[in-house]
Amino acid sequence: METLRFKQMPLVVKIAVGLVFNNAWWSIEEFVIDRKGLWKYMPYYHVADACVWDLAVALISIIAIWWASRAANF
C-alpha cells in the first residue's frame, strides 16, 4: 500500500481541512478570546463580529493549504 501525499488528495478533502482550521480558530475566538477578555489587547478586533483577525486566519489557512498541495515532499 502506498502513502498518499496531501497534494494527491481530492479538492473536497483540501476544502474540508481548510474548514477544520477555520472552525478551530472560531472556537479559540469564542471560548478563549471573547470569554477571557483578551480582545482588549488585540487591535482591530471586534467581539462577535467579523474582523481583520478572521480575515488574516482565513488567508493564512488558504495559503498553507495551497502551499501544502503544491509541495513536492509534503
Question: For residue 50, is it left (φ>0), alpha (ψ between -120 and 50) or beta?
Answer: beta
Mean pLDDT value of segment 6-23: 93
Instruction: Please answer whether residues 74 and 7 qualify as being in contact, where contact means their C-beta atoms are separated by less than 8 angstroms.
Output: yes
User: CA 11, CA 1: separation in Å to the nearest integer?
Assistant: 22
Q: Is the pTM value of this prediction over 0.85?
A: no
Q: How confident is the model at residue 61 (pLDDT cuts 50, 70, 90)?
A: very high
Model confidence at 74: pLDDT above 70: no
